[in-house]
Structure 1
Amino acid sequence: MEQTTYFEDYEIGAGRTTFGRTITETDFVVHAGHTGDFFPHHMDVEFMKTTPFGQRIAHGTMVFAIGVGLTASVVNPVAFSYGYDRLRFIKPVFIGDTIRTRTSIAAKGDDPKRPGHGRVVERVEVVNQRDEVVLAADHIYIVERRPKT
């Protein structure tokens, strides 16, 4: 779906919540294969039984990738991602947990490098089935200003 939203159209506090996605054993294996991160925290059931977690924990980068992917439902042709700041892995995610992502517009301002654009900061919170925040980050967008007519 495509929706043109200019810088002026963003409102502080506006947000949305995605559908959920249940984390599976396959997610762990595929992510480890893609990244090369086979640390025992993610892959070794017996090792993790000896830790306070008691079971394997999801790769933080996997939770980030899936959480951000859940938000990718609308294409704004006048905006692009400038990156993420303040990324934190707050709570562990386990096989069988269902995550969803909440976003809200936290700030907006001028873009010092591009006079025809602004910067929009979207707060991203990935939450589990108990509504506990497991990951948080700020997503920065560069967004075109509305053309003058």
Structure 2
Amino acid sequence: MTFFEEYELGSTRKSHGRTVTEADIVLHAGQTGDFFPHHMDAEFARSLPGGERMAHGTLILSMSVGMLAGDINEQAMSYGYDRVRFIRPVHIGDTITSRSEIVGLREHPKQPELYGFADEQVEVVNQRGEVVAAFMHLYLVNRRPGSAR
């Protein structure tokens, strides 16, 4: 369990790779209702700059978060995501990896004795090392009991 006081600026994590499959895209389309031809229609996708179907940006966001969620921290929860950008398309057969760095630590504005925020910059890269997505993952983190200033 990691309390707010134990987070360190500059600490990093990196996931294992995961290859995006057609099944991933079809399942995500079914869950979200996003059946745009960019994702589902191989013939239409041939007319796109990449020439093939691409994964939903929200699928890549979800996969990248899950790929970094290997350890359960009972003292923290996801508070949200800021500055989400889908930079390059991800196609069927691409392998993505997530890497992250803690870039900000700040006290909770209303309850600093109980909580802090940790800001984690996440980049998702493909097998060529190209950044395909980037975002800030915000965590609400419990302070260690009795640690308030």
**Same fold? TM cut 0.5:** yes
Shift of 1:130: 1.1
Shift of 1:30: 0.8
Name the residue aligned to 1:61. 58
Aligned partners of 1:87, 1:108: CA distance in 2, in Å?
Answer: 19
Return the TM-score normalized by structure 1: 0.94
Alignment of 1:1-149 (within 5 A): 4-115=1-112, 116-148=114-146
Aligned partners of 1:55, 1:28: CA distance in 2, in Å?
Answer: 13
Shift of 1:14: 0.4
Shift of 1:148: 2.3
> How many correspondences in the alignment?
146
1:27 partner SS: helix
Aligned partners of 1:24, 1:9: CA distance in 2, in Å?
Answer: 37
Q: Deviations over 1:54-95 (max 9, x none)?
A: 111110011111111111111111111111111110110000
How many percent of aligned residue pairs carry the same amino acid?
Answer: 55
What letter corresponds to residue 87 of structure 1 in structure 2? V
Shift of 1:112: 0.6
The runs of 5 or more residues in structure 2 that have no matched partner are: none
